Amino acid sequence: MTRIPALVFAGACIGLLLAGCAGRDASVAAPAPFRGEGAPLIDPARGAHDAGSIAAARGANDFAFRLGAALLQDAGHENFVVSPYSVWLPLAALLNATREQYRPELLRALGAQGLGAGDVNRAASRMLFDLTNERGRRQGWDGAFRENPLRIANAVFVDHGFPLRAQFAQVFMDFYRGESMSVDFRDPDTVAAVNRWASDNTNGRINRVVQEFDPDTVAAIANAIYFSDSWRDGFCASQTERGAFYAHDGESYAYFMRLERNDFSYFEDAHVQAVNLPFATGGGMKIILPRDGDAAGFLSAMTAEKFEGMQRDSVLASGRLLLPRFSIENTIDSLKPALVALGVPLFDEQAAPLTGGLVYDGGLRVWLSQAVQVAMIEVDEEGATAAAVTVLVAVAEAALEPVTTFEMICDRPFAFVLHRQTNDGGRQVLFTGVVNRP
C-alpha cells in the first residue's frame, strides 16, 4: 500500500504524489529531466475576448461551492474551512495528463463542461495573472499596488528515473508557472528540499510539510497558497469585548470585535444578513449570518450565481458589526469521496486515467488513490491570514449615500467566503467556511 507522507500544516499545498508499485522497474529508459522556458502569463485585459477561458474561470467558483457542500456533510457542528482553489488548480493542471476519454468527466467536475483543456489552461494563466498582481510587477508599480498578499507557487519534484512527459511539463510551466526539479525520492534529503520549497513560498509559515516519502514515489506536484492582508477599515482592539456566543451545543464565550461605519457593502433578505469586509489591497471577506443559525446548511446551498447575486444586490449602508475573533485549522480526510461525488474520474483504479500522461512510466498504470487537505484561517482586529495543504496521492501499478441602517451581531454560527478579484471569474473564491464556535 502507498503511504501518505506525514504532514505538519502551515500553509502549502502538495497537489499530487505519484507512488509506484513495489516491484516497478526503476531502470526504465527515460529522457533527461525537462528543461524549458515558460511563456508569460496571459493578461486578461489584452487581446481578443476569450469566452472559453472566462467560462472556465467562472466555473471554478461553481466547483468551489459544490466541493464545500460535499465536504460540509461530514463537518457536523464543528468549525470548518477549506480552500477550493487549492484543489481546483492541481486538478486543472492534471487535465493535461488525463487520458482523452476521461477528460470530459473531469471538465464537468471542474465546472468547465463543454470546454477543453486549453480553455482551462488559459483560465488558470489569466487568473494567476490577476491573483499574483503580474500587471503591477510588469509595470513597476510602487507601494501597495506592487505588494500582493496572495502567494501562489507551483512545482513538480520528479524522480530522476521517471521524468515528466515533456508536453505536460511545458503546459505546466506556461500556464501554471510550474517549475520542475529532478530528485531522488529514496534520498532523505529530498524531504528537506520539498520542505525548504514550502517554507520559501509561504513566508516561513510552512517549514515542514512532509516527514518522509514512500521509496516508490516517482513525482510530487506541489502548490503553495498563502494569504495575509490587513483590513482596509480596521477594527479597534480597545473596543473588543467578551460576550456570549450561542453555539448549537450551548452557550459559550468569544471576543467580539466592533466596527461601525456608514459605507458598508450590506445585503439582507428573509434568510441572511451579509456584509463585505474589504482588504487593504483589494478583495475581501464576506461575512454571512443566517437568521436561523444554520451556517452549514446555508453554505451547502450556496452557488456561484447566488454569491454574485448577493454582491450585486448589496447596498451602501450605515451600521454596526460585532464579529468574534476566530482561528480554525482542520484536516479534511473526506476529500476523496467528495471529489468522487463531484464526478472527478481520476480515482478509478480500473480506468487508470493518468496512465501515460504525466511521467515516462514504462507502461505503468497511474491513477489517484487518496486525497486530503489541511486548511487554516486566522481573523483578528488587524486582518486575516489563510493557508491550505492539499494532497492528491496517485499510485502507479506497473460614492453613494447610505440607504440602509442595520445591526449585525454574529453571536451564532456564521459563514464566510474569502475572495479575490479577477477579470475573468469575478470574485474568485479562495476559502469558504463556517464558524460554529469561535
Q: Three cell numbers at 430?
A: 479562495
Count of CB atoms within 10 A of residue 271's CB? 12
Count of CB atoms within 10 A of residue 331's CB? 13
Sorted by where each begins, the domain ranges of the chain are 12-31+51-229+328-397, 230-325+400-435
Confidence (pLDDT) at 1: 30
| CA 231 to centroid of chain Cα atoms | 21
Confidence (pLDDT) at 173: 94
Q: Three cell numbers at 117?
A: 483543456
Q: Three cell numbers at 97?
A: 495528463
Q: Three cell numbers at 224?
A: 503553495
> Phi and psi at residue 331, in whole multiples of 5°?
-105, 125
| Mean pLDDT of each 10-residue bin along the chain, 438 residues long | 33 45 40 64 86 95 96 89 91 94 97 97 95 79 63 82 86 92 84 80 73 72 88 93 92 94 95 95 94 94 95 95 92 88 93 85 77 84 88 63 74 88 85 90
Residue 164 gets which letter from DSSP?
B
Fold equal for 12-31+51-229+328-397 and 230-325+400-435: no
Three-state secondary structure call for residue 345: helix
Give the residue ranges of DSSP H helices in 274-344: 295-300, 304-312, 335-341
Q: What is the spatial distance between Cα 128 and Cα 130, in angstroms, rounded to a whole number?
A: 5
Q: Does domain 12-31+51-229+328-397 have CATH number 3.30.497.10?
A: yes
Q: Which fold has domain 230-325+400-435?
A: Alpha-1-antitrypsin; domain 1 (2.30.39)
The closest alpha carbon to 374, from 140, 176, 210, 132, belongs to 210
What are the residues facing 225 on neighbouring strands?
152, 388
Conformational region of residue 343, where left means phi above 0, alpha means psi within -120 to 50, and beta covers everything else: left
Confidence (pLDDT) at 374: 75
| CA 18 to centroid of chain Cα atoms | 20
Count of CB atoms within 10 A of residue 246's CB? 12
Dihedral (CA of 262, 265, 266, 272) sign: negative
Q: What is the spatial distance between Cα 366 and Cα 347, in angstroms, rounded to a whole number?
A: 10
Residues 6+ apart with CB under 8 A from 379: 285, 323, 325, 326, 327, 416
Confidence (pLDDT) at 391: 62
